[in-house]
Amino acid sequence: MSQQGVPAMSKTPSIDEEVWEQDLKERLFAKIPLFIFSLLMFTVALSFMGYEIPDALLWADFLLVFGVFTVYVVSRHLTLYVFKRLGEAVLTLFIIASLTFLLLRIMPGGPFDRDKALPPEVLANIEAKYNLNAPLYVQYFDYLKGLSRGYLGESYKYIGRGVTDIIMEALPVSFQLGFYSLILAFLLGIPLGVFAASKHNSRFDYFAMFLANSGTALPSFLVGPILIIIFCFWLNWLPAAFWDGPEYYILPVLTLGLRPVAVIARLTRANVLDVIRSDYIRTARSKGLAEKVVLYKHVLKNSLIPVLTFSGPLAAAILSGSFVIELIFNIPGIGKHFVESVTNRDYPLILGVTLVFSFLLVLANLIVDLLYVYFDPRIKLS
Amino acid sequence: MRSSSKSLWIDAFNRLKKNKASMVSLGIIIVLCFIALFARQISPYPFDEQHMDAILQPPSARFWLGTDSLGRDLLSRVIYGARMSMAVGILTAFISLILGTIYGVISGWFGGRVDALLMRALDIITSIPTLVLMILVKVIFDSVQLFENPELRALTSILLALSLVGWVSLARVVRGQVLQVKEMTFVEAARALGASQFWTVIKHVLPNILGPIIVLLSFQIPSNILFESFLSFIGLGLQPPFSSWGVLASEGAKSIRSYPHVIISPGVALFIAMLAFQFLGDGLRDALDPKMKGSV
Amino acid sequence: MPLNSRFWAIIFLSAAFFFSGCTKKKKSYDFDPKNTLFSRLGAEPPSLDWHKSSDTTSAEVIMNMMEGLVEYNLSDPELSLKPALAVKWRAENKAQRWIFTLREGVKWTDGKSFTAQQVVDGWERLLNPATASEYAYFLFGVKNAKAYNSGKIKDFSQVGVHVNSQGELVVDLEAPQSYFPYLLAHHSTYPIRKDVVKKFGDQWTNPRNIQTLGAYRLVKWDHDKAIVLKANKDFYGGEPPIKNVVLHIVKDAQAALNLFDTHKIDILDSLPSVELKHLRKRPEYRTVPLLGIYYFGLNVKKKPTDNVLVRKALSMAIDRKEITDMLGGGQVPMTSWVPKGMFGYMPDKGLKFNVKKARELLDKAGYKDRSRFPTLKLLFNTNEDHQRVAENIQAQLKRNLGINVELGNAEWKVYLSALKSNNTPHIFRMGWIADFPDPDNFLNLMTSYSANNHTNWSNKEFDRLILKAATVTDKKERLRLYGKAQEILVEKEVPVIPIYSYVSTQLVSKRVLGYASNAMGIKKYKEMRLQ
């Protein structure tokens, strides 16, 4: 299964020594992504099983991925492109920050509007503390000044806590949850889609798609409680809430993962159908290649491109947490801040989480665009 | 041109007919639309009639699906819910369709700098906190009342809020399609013959991107309905006392362990409708795919 | 093929190598349940700094690790005060001067002694404009406190609090306040260690830095996860019986209930309201009155609620009992203003449910032809319970008076700004939970100078009664004054329609003993035991 993401490896033995040598080198080279993939999976498995992950392993993961990406970018002459995109990203983030800043001030209700109204003297002191009594443009430039130094300000709600601290504490949890769900989505979604496409319009197709579609057919605030009732109260197998080890991970990951599984399965199915009907696959078939080989080797690689396009925004959305699932399973992730910072009118925190999300989105889209070239060398990025 | 495109649609429909799941789904959707239209005539009670002597009762002969926490008949609420949910799903999809198509066509057709600029703008719009937008839209449209009809009034802000979020993905797809179609020979020919840009777009580009748009529309509808339920869950949903499946489901989910009957009926309704739309969408995609011409 | 196997061999070897070096993470809150109480906090405490926090969640934690000059006697249903850091107190000059004798031999968690000056330090910090404390107004009754807080006076020694030569704390007030000692049970008036705050700045509430003198000390604060408290061996009242308290932060009521049912949490309050009818059958269920009222305000400047007859008709046309029966949590239907469980509660005051009379009043107001009666706009903040109540009132007014009400809901902060605007709707929902158990806290709400009075209603006689009652120490006389004030408010003028008096609903595990559920919703772990 893990070989999907890897270029097709030729297994035809060569007689010529020299050619064989070269072949060996190529094959070793081809193994590098596989190795890194295995290492990543190992890390994920370790963390899923509730083990303390050594820092060395995390660094190894990070450096290897980063290194390979750098080598990849440089070898394909994409360095300039990457820098250009990053420059654009800075501009985009700046506009997003400004626009959000403005919208927040238009929105009715202030951060210190309480159900029990505060006396004017008290309110004046608070506004002075947070500089809210200054003209709006001064506040805006102060915020930008802070931003340029990477300072996101201090939360209005959680007194004395920096926005960066709050995000750095909550984001890893959401990342963990999101990462498991994404893996579930790809591991289940792609085979399901291929399977359904290979049996197009048959009972199996309908059944597989029924399975997948069921995952998107109910809102997660309903799926979560249903799973809790079944696995916690009827079967007594899994805990109802918290985030404290493998047994705690299963239900939230399942709840969060069901939708992406379905989406990916459907996308894969549609694209596999698309590719199956294209001419060169017909040629491959007519040459008498085994059905499975055709399906997994030729069809899959080509039909993964649209799935890839979709994976960028999907990854960004899933990694940045889910309000509902974090609420239902009481997971201390970042999802709640996307909703609660707004209802609290906690301006610095709203801006903080918004920027984090846009940064993730921009980054995910960049990575996806870079991967395009890998999957389809005909694509040119400029 | 015209006749061939007509036969294309007939072909597509013939292919769709072969897909049993899609045809069943289409039937379900038509039935649901009827229920939505004739909700007032079908439902046994008015949707907001409270029976204080029968709060949270399980299904009985008097109330076939039981009652909710205000003693309202759940069957009637689910039937009326169909009306609101379908309205939210379909109307929102059409509003986003119009916005998205105009934006996407402009972006794709003019290309170059216009395209780059418009696409960056889309990135930015995607990143602006949805909740902030929702609250703003609701505040604005609660103060400016456009309609006299209470049902429409309850719907306006939610419709606009959802469309504001929904049109972005449509714009992206439309733009991609326009970029492809633009390069096709017949479009180039029309331009070479001196047809005006506007006319070329209307006559040659739009008909050719209609397939993918219809498919996307059929996916947009269920996701709108689901998104509405999420909004209800976090308290930004429909204006009470109107009910949608989302409102009912989020109410029911909160008492699922004590009163499962409250959640079962809207849950099942939602489930069936979602599946129907998705299967129909999948079927349409298969049927409208030009590569599949003649390969059935 | 050998290449392949060699590759996998390397992978597995390195995996095994790492694996052997890894340790399984310990479960986070693995305490012996025999001497550990597990409870729930409904949200992440915004701050454990008792001068800066302004919410009930933070208060719950703070009140268990700190002590004030006085504390509530929770087993007394009237919630009288009992000595804490002050052993006794007396009023002088008709309750305009209060003198507190402080307890001796009290130690902070680092062994330093508690002094009277630390109380003064605390008040100075609370009132200092730079602290920007929301609860600074709690002490605005103290002489010059308001002026100091608004920066008009820079010198704190002019504020009416000092330590006299006998080491007693002397407080001078602007005007007599008969209920003043109650304010000192509130966490915002607690003493503070100036040296600690100075040393650690904003970080002084970290478990490593904080110094307290209550029955428990803070040992762990995992944001958004849990707070862990440990018994303080040096507590002046003796080491409490429960050694550890784990406060899980659980936002969702449903999730909290699931945790209670799987024995992860021992005490649960604010139960999911839709399920109350079901939950109240359980043996662990408890309910006590909570000092709070649920009411609807009427805009007295807007047609037709500017007409007192219409307001009276509305109030009489609503059957409160139908609402409380529907909610099913044991709320007490109410037509008067002061909540049940507080002195000044007068259930027979107010306009009783009377459809016939209500219809007559509306006829008299000139709306005999109901179709001429404009549609009323009822606004509430988005919440399923408020929605149920609003929907029921809509139905009741339609049924009983034949008038139409249009419902509107708004997100909380949008709602608050709508109430403050000039365009307040005809009817709006509000609630009030006591800051301290005295009727002044409730009646003050509707004075013409109250920032929380959104009805546009003002009445000189009412204002005068409230101001006077605050200065009277004789309980009987106060009762009489508050009775008269309530008559004006809910019988003669009717700018508000009280609906019910709140209750607190709880599930308490059988293994928890000695927990006195009380009208202020306070939990004191030092008074509890485990079975």
Task: Write out the DSSP string of B17-75.
Answer: HH-HHHHHHHHHHHHHHHHHHTHHHH-SS-TT---TTSTTPPS-SSSTT-B-TT--BHH
Q: C162 forms bridges with which residues in the sheet?
A: C170
Residue length, chain C? Answer: 531
pLDDT (0 to 100) of residue B296: 30
Residues of A in contact with C19 (CB under 8 A): 46
Most trustworthy range by pLDDT among C19-28, C120-129, C509-518: C120-129
Coil, strand or helix: which one is A51? strand
Contact B257 C257 (CB under 8 A): yes
Using CB atoms within 10 A of its CB, is residue B14 exposed (0-12), middle (13-18) or buried (19+)?
Answer: exposed
Compute the mean pLDDT over every residue in chain B, rounded to the nearest whole number.
83
How far apart, in whole angstroms, are the C-alpha atoms of residue B200 and residue B197? 5
What is the average pLDDT across A211-216?
A: 84
Tell me, rounded to whole angstroms, the distance of Cα A182 from its chain centroid. 7
How many beta-carbon contacts under 8 Å exist across A and B? 124
Residue B126 or residue C317, greater confidence: C317
Sole residue written with tokens 């506004």: A127
Compare all CA atoms of chain A with the CA of C413 and give the residue at the minimum distance.
Answer: A109
How far apart, in whole angstroms, are the C-alpha atoms of residue C414 and residue C377? 16
CB neighbour list of residue A261: distance below 8 Å, 6 or more residues apart: A184, A185, A188, A189, A192, A212, A215
Chain segment B273-293, per-residue pLDDT in tens: 999 998 888 888 778 765 443
CATH code at C1-64+214-266+509-531? 3.40.190.10
Compare all CA atoms of chain A with the CA of B256 and give the residue at the minimum distance.
Answer: A225
Chain segment A110-139, per-residue pLDDT in tens: 899 888 888 999 999 999 999 999 999 999
Options 3.10.20.740, 3.10.105.10, 3.40.630.30, 3.40.630.10; CATH for C290-503 is 3.10.105.10
Q: Are B83 and B36 in contact (CB under 8 A)?
A: yes
Residues of A in contact with B252 (CB under 8 A): 222
C408 Cβ under 8 Å from any chain A Cβ: no
Peptide bond into C437 cis (omega under 30): no
Contact A221 B253 (CB under 8 A): yes
With b meaning 16 or more CB within 10 Å and e meaning fewer, what string describes C452-466?
bbbbbbbbeebbebb
pLDDT (0 to 100) of residue B1: 40
How far apart, in whole angstroms, are the C-alpha atoms of residue C257 and residue C268? 8
> DSSP for C227-295?
EEEEE-TT-TT---S--EEEEEE---HHHHHHHHHTTS-SEEES--GGGHHHHTTSTTEEEEEEEEEEE
Contact B235 C254 (CB under 8 A): no
> DSSP for B78-139?
HHHHHHHHHHHHHHHHHHHHHHHHHHHHHHHHH-HHHHHHHHHHHHHHHHS-HHHHHHHHHH
Residues of B in contact with A216 (CB under 8 A): 222, 226, 274, 278
Contact A328 C11 (CB under 8 A): no
- Alpha carbon of B234: minimum distance to chain C alpha carbons (Å): 9
Contact B129 A354 (CB under 8 A): yes
C233 Cβ under 8 Å from any chain A Cβ: no
How far apart, in whole angstroms, are the C-alpha atoms of residue A279 and residue A301? 16
Q: Are A331 and A325 in contact (CB under 8 A)?
A: yes
Q: What are phi and psi of C307, to 5 degrees?
A: -90, 120
Coil, strand or helix: which one is C83? strand
Residues of A in contact with B283 (CB under 8 A): none
CB neighbour list of residue C154: distance below 8 Å, 6 or more residues apart: C148
How far apart, in whole angstroms, are the C-alpha atoms of residue A29 and residue A23? 10
Residues of B in contact with C384 (CB under 8 A): 251, 254
Q: What are phi and psi of C407, to 5 degrees?
A: -90, 145
* C contact test, residue of B48, B49, B51, B52 with most C CBs within 10 A: B52
- Alpha carbon of B199: minimum distance to chain A alpha carbons (Å): 31
* A contact test, residue of C55, C210, C413 with most A CBs within 10 A: C413
pLDDT at C50 > cutoff 80: yes
How far apart, in whole angstroms, are the C-alpha atoms of residue B19 and residue C445? 67
What is the average pLDDT across B129-153?
A: 78
The band of B295, judged by pLDDT with boundaries at 50, 70 and 90, is very low
Contact C259 A160 (CB under 8 A): no
What is the average pLDDT across C447-462?
A: 92
Contact C390 B240 (CB under 8 A): yes
Q: Are C23 and A51 in contact (CB under 8 A)?
A: yes
Crossing angle of the two packed helices A335-344 and B130-143, in degrees rounded to 10: 40
Compare all CA atoms of chain B with the CA of C423 and give the residue at the minimum distance.
Answer: B143
ipTM of the complex: 0.89
Residue length, chain A? Answer: 382
Using CB atoms within 10 A of its CB, is residue C443 exposed (0-12), middle (13-18) or buried (19+)?
Answer: buried
pLDDT (0 to 100) of residue B2: 44
* A contact test, residue of B88, B130, B132 with most A CBs within 10 A: B132
Contact C325 B50 (CB under 8 A): no
Sole residue written with tokens 């010529």: A16
Q: Are C517 and C506 in contact (CB under 8 A)?
A: yes
Contact C224 A57 (CB under 8 A): no
Contact C391 B258 (CB under 8 A): no
Chain segment B4-56, per-residue pLDDT in tens: 556 777 877 888 888 888 889 999 999 999 998 998 888 888 888 888 888 88
Chain segment A265-314, per-residue pLDDT in tens: 888 888 888 777 766 666 766 766 666 666 666 677 777 777 777 788 88
pLDDT (0 to 100) of residue B214: 78
What is the average pLDDT across A232-241?
A: 92
pTM: 0.89
pLDDT at A231 > cutoff 50: yes
How far apart, in whole angstroms, are the C-alpha atoms of residue A145 and residue B271? 50
Q: Which two tokens stand for residue C425?
A: 């709707």
pLDDT (0 to 100) of residue B133: 85
What is the average pLDDT across C76-95?
A: 90
- Alpha carbon of B195: minimum distance to chain A alpha carbons (Å): 32
Residue A209 or residue B288, greater confidence: A209
pLDDT at C58 > cutoff 90: yes
The CATH code of the domain that includes B89 is 1.10.3720.10
With b meaning 16 or more CB within 10 Å and e meaning fewer, what string describes A297-313?
ebbbbbbbbebbbebbb
Selecting from C23, C222, C255 the residue whose C-beta is nearest the C-beta of A52 gives C23
pLDDT at C409 > cutoff 80: yes
Sole residue written with tokens 């003649």: B294
CATH 3.90.76.10 correct for C67-194: yes
The band of B294, judged by pLDDT with boundaries at 50, 70 and 90, is very low
**Helix/strand number for chain C, H first, E second:** 16, 19
The band of C322, judged by pLDDT with boundaries at 50, 70 and 90, is very high
Contact A125 C22 (CB under 8 A): no
Q: Are C455 and C505 in contact (CB under 8 A)?
A: no
Compare all CA atoms of chain B with the CA of C417 and give the residue at the minimum distance.
Answer: B139
How far apart, in whole angstroms, are the C-alpha atoms of residue C178 and residue C190? 20
pLDDT at C310 > cutoff 60: yes
CB neighbour list of residue C169: distance below 8 Å, 6 or more residues apart: C69, C86, C99, C100, C102, C116, C119, C120, C161, C162, C163
Residue A273 or residue C424, greater confidence: C424
Q: Are A360 and A320 in contact (CB under 8 A)?
A: yes
Contact A100 B128 (CB under 8 A): yes
The band of C4, judged by pLDDT with boundaries at 50, 70 and 90, is low
In terms of phi and psi (left: phi > 0; alpha: psi -120 to 50; beta: otherwise), the region of A380 is beta
Compute the mean pLDDT over every residue in chain C, rounded to the nearest whole number.
91
Chain segment C129-165, per-residue pLDDT in tens: 999 999 999 999 999 999 999 999 999 999 999 999 9
Chain segment A150-164, per-residue pLDDT in tens: 899 999 999 989 999
Sole residue written with tokens 């798609």: A209
pLDDT at A334 > cutoff 90: yes
What is the average pLDDT across C83-108?
A: 93
DSSP class of residue A295? I
Q: Are B254 and A241 in contact (CB under 8 A)?
A: no
Q: Which two tokens stand for residue C423?
A: 């365009």
Return residue ranges of chain C for CATH 3.40.190.10: 1-64+214-266+509-531
Q: Element (H or E) spanning B6, and its range?
A: helix B2-18
Residues of A in contact with C249 (CB under 8 A): 330, 332
Return the CATH fold of A82-375.
MetI-like fold (1.10.3720)
Q: Which two tokens stand for residue C345?
A: 């509660």
Residues of A in contact with B253 (CB under 8 A): 219, 221-222, 225
Selecting from C258, C274, C322 the residue whose C-beta is nearest the C-beta of B255 gives C274
Strands (E), C26-109: 36-41, 70-72, 81-83, 86-92, 97-102
Contact A115 C252 (CB under 8 A): no
How far apart, in whole angstroms, are the C-alpha atoms of residue C227 and residue A205? 51
C92 Cβ under 8 Å from any chain A Cβ: no
How far apart, in whole angstroms, are the C-alpha atoms of residue B151 and residue C496? 30
Rounded to the nearest 10°, the torsion over CA C162, C165, C169, C170 is -60
Chain segment A1-49, per-residue pLDDT in tens: 333 333 444 444 445 666 666 666 666 666 777 778 878 888 888 888 8
Compare all CA atoms of chain A with the CA of B16 and give the residue at the minimum distance.
Answer: A201
What is the average pLDDT across A42-63?
A: 83
For residue A223, the one-letter residue type is V
pLDDT at B3 > cutoff 50: no
Residues of A in contact with B136 (CB under 8 A): 103, 106-107
Q: Which two tokens stand for residue C531?
A: 């079975």
Using CB atoms within 10 A of its CB, is residue B101 exposed (0-12), middle (13-18) or buried (19+)?
Answer: buried
Compare all CA atoms of chain B with the CA of A206 and give the residue at the minimum distance.
Answer: B21
How far apart, in whole angstroms, are the C-alpha atoms of residue B106 and residue C357? 66
What is the average pLDDT across C469-476?
A: 87
Residue C26 or residue A134, greater confidence: A134
Residue B53 or residue A380, greater confidence: B53
What is the average pLDDT across B162-178?
A: 84
Strand pairing report for C70-72 and C81-83: antiparallel
Residues of C in contact with B150 (CB under 8 A): 406
Q: Are C332 and C277 in contact (CB under 8 A)?
A: no
pLDDT at C402 > cutoff 90: yes
Contact A354 B289 (CB under 8 A): no
Domain range list for chain A: 19-75, 82-375
* C contact test, residue of A330, A331, A339, A349 with most C CBs within 10 A: A330
Contact A114 C134 (CB under 8 A): yes
Containing domain of residue B87, as a range?
2-295
Lowest mean pLDDT among A222-236, B147-161, C257-271: B147-161
What is the average pLDDT across B221-234?
A: 87
Within A287-346, residue ranges assigned H as helices are 291-293, 300-319, 323-328, 335-344
